[in-house]
């Protein structure tokens, strides 16, 4: 294995690196130009990534192996943000919520938003009534003098100009409030599990005093910022990895950052990599789809069954297929589920009539 030897020197004055940044009295480490971050894994000593590194990178597992850069101090001060780095309070709560997308659950304050909208709506209605009063007074004044109010005469009235200006500002504020409320309503609702996770963490760690945590008790007024919530199989597999002998393989589905983010005192919070889960379940789902196609077809072709038995086999697999798809999917529309089930049913029915 080829090991690159670094050349270290101390800059005595102002100098510039390759990016044009000024370096004053800094310790600079130069690497061998032929050195590669991927060369030591395969021991080739070349700049071309090895096949093993490419495979691990594809599945997001490259951080399970030490990199060739660990022999120097360039990453000595680089670390992951940990929940324990912050004192108990809003700082630790914020660090916990930022450690995983499923923790980004916040109050929507729907009632408060509608209060503001209704108040602005009432003020606009009052301004509109004031405009009607000014126009009516102008019309009555014209009738008393025996004339007719000129077209758009009240536009040049000082009172009318002031009211119209206030109305324009209120309408702009009202439009912004409606647009903001529309965006708020379009946010995804957290699952019961995500809401309970937030409530349990706050109960166990006490980041807020009781008088400040009352807003967490309105369970139907929360939103989650990321519409990428876990599926049924994700939740079950995550629960399984925290139990018994499966703990030994749990770190395969966790990055190094996720292993250090969670609080040491909080042994209930375990973070898993969404990317690794997704890759694993894609392969598992593909395998199950192949099994779901080959097993019933093999039964219909190989085994000598009665018509009722053949029909029972087809119905059983057709009923099981949408359940399997639903368990693996996180954001599956009913139309997509119906189309997939219809295609699968058509394949089995064709095999039923051909056998």
Same domain, 60 and 130: no
Domain boundary among 163, 186, 209: 186
Phi, psi of 256 (to 5 degrees): -65, -35
Q: Copy the structure tokens of residue 231.
A: 């599926």
Residue 258 maps to a domain: no
| pLDDT given at position 109 | 94
> Residue 149 belongs to what domain range?
110-186
Q: What is the pLDDT of residues 223-280, one digit of tens each?
A: 998 876 667 777 788 778 877 777 777 777 777 777 776 655 566 677 777 778 888 8
Alpha-carbon distances of 115 from 112, 121, 122, 140, rounded to whole Å: 5, 10, 11, 38
Q: What is the pLDDT of residues 16-47, one digit of tens each?
A: 444 444 444 444 444 444 444 444 343 444 44
Alpha-carbon distances of 294 from 170, 284, 288, rounded to whole Å: 66, 15, 10
Mean pLDDT of 84-110: 87
Q: What is the pLDDT of residues 279-338, one digit of tens each?
A: 888 888 899 989 998 998 888 888 888 888 888 989 999 999 988 888 887 667 778 888
Angle at 116 between CA 114 and CA 117, to 5 degrees: 60
Q: State how far the Cα of 322 lies from the Cα of 149, in Å rounded to an integer.
A: 72
Phi, psi of 27 (to 5 degrees): -85, 120
Q: State how far the Cα of 12 lies from the Cα of 196, in Å rounded to an integer.
A: 58
Helices (H), the chain: 39-42, 51-58, 90-97, 110-144, 158-186, 192-205, 232-241, 256-261, 274-302, 307-328, 334-354
Q: Helix, strand or coil for residue 78?
A: coil
Domain boundary among 186, 217, 240: 186
Q: Helix, strand or coil for residue 208?
A: coil
Which residues make beta-bridge pairs with 105? 224
Strand pairing class (222-224; 27-30): unpaired
**50-69 core/surface letters (b: 16 or more CB in 10 A; e: else):** beebeebeeebbbeeeeebe
Count of CB atoms within 10 A of residue 295's CB? 12
Which residues make beta-bridge pairs with 107? 222
Residue 240 maps to a domain: no
Domain boundary among 153, 186, 219: 186
Residue 198 maps to a domain: no
Residue 217 maps to a domain: no
Number of domains in the chain: 3
Same domain, 281 and 349: yes
Mean pLDDT of 159-169: 88
Residue 261 maps to a domain: no
Contact 207/114 with Cβ under 8 angstroms? no
> Taken in order 133, 138, 144, 146, is the CA torsion positive or negative?
negative
Contact 330/230 with Cβ under 8 angstroms? yes
Residue 136 maps to a domain: yes
Mean pLDDT value across the chain: 76
Determine if the pTM surpasses 0.85: no
Q: Copy the structure tokens of residue 89.
A: 């309070």
Contact 120/134 with Cβ under 8 angstroms? no
Q: Copy the structure tokens of residue 114.
A: 């509608």
What is the DSSP track for 45-69? -SSSPPHHHHHHHHTT-GGGS--GG
DSSP category for residue 188: B
Residue 60 maps to a domain: yes
Residue 349 maps to a domain: yes
Same domain, 65 and 118: no
Contact 142/149 with Cβ under 8 angstroms? yes
Q: State how far the Cα of 41 lies from the Cα of 38, in Å rounded to an integer.
A: 6
Type and span of the H or E element at 29: strand 27-30
**pLDDT at residue 69 is higher than 70:** no
């Amino acid at each position: 294995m080829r090991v690159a030897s670094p050349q270290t020197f101390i800059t005595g004055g102002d100098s510039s690196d390759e990016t044009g940044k000024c370096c004053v009295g800094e310790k600079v480490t130069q690497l061998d130009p032929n050195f590669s971050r991927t060369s030591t894994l395969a021991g080739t000593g070349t700049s071309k990534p090895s096949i093993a590194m490419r495979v691990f990178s594809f599945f997001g597992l490259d951080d399970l192996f030490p990199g060739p850069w660990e022999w120097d101090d360039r990453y000595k001060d680089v670390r992951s943000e940990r929940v324990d780095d912050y004192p108990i309070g809003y700082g630790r709560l914020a660090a916990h919520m930022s450690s995983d997308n499923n923790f980004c659950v916040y109050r929507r304050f729907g009632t408060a938003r509608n209060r503001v909208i209704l108040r602005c709506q009432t003020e606009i209605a009052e301004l509109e009534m004031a405009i009607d009063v000014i126009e009516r007074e102008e019309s009555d004044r014209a009738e008393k003098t025996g004339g007719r109010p000129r077209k758009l005469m009240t536009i040049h009235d000082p009172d009318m100009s002031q009211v119209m200006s206030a109305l324009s500002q209120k309408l702009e504020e009202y439009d912004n409030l409606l647009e903001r409320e529309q965006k708020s309503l379009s946010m995804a609702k957290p699952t019961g599990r995500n809401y309970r996770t937030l409530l349990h963490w706050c109960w166990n760690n006490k980041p807020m005093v009781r008088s400040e945590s009352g807003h967490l008790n309105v369970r139907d007024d929360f939103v989650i910022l990321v519409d990428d919530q876990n599926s049924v199989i994700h939740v079950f597999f995550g629960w399984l990895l925290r139990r018994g002998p499966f703990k030994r393989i749990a770190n395969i589905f966790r990055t190094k950052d996720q292993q250090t983010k969670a609080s040491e005192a909080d042994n209930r919070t375990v973070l898993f990599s969404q990317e690794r889960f997704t890759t694993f379940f894609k392969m598992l789902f593909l395998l199950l789809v192949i099994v779901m196609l080959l097993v019933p077809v093999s039964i219909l072709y190989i085994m000598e069954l009665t018509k009722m038995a053949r029909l029972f086999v087809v119905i059983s697999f057709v009923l099981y297929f949408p359940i399997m798809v639903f368990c693996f999917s996180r954001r599956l529309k009913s139309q997509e589920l119906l189309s997939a089930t219809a295609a699968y049913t058509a394949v089995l029915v064709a095999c039923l009539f051909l056998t």
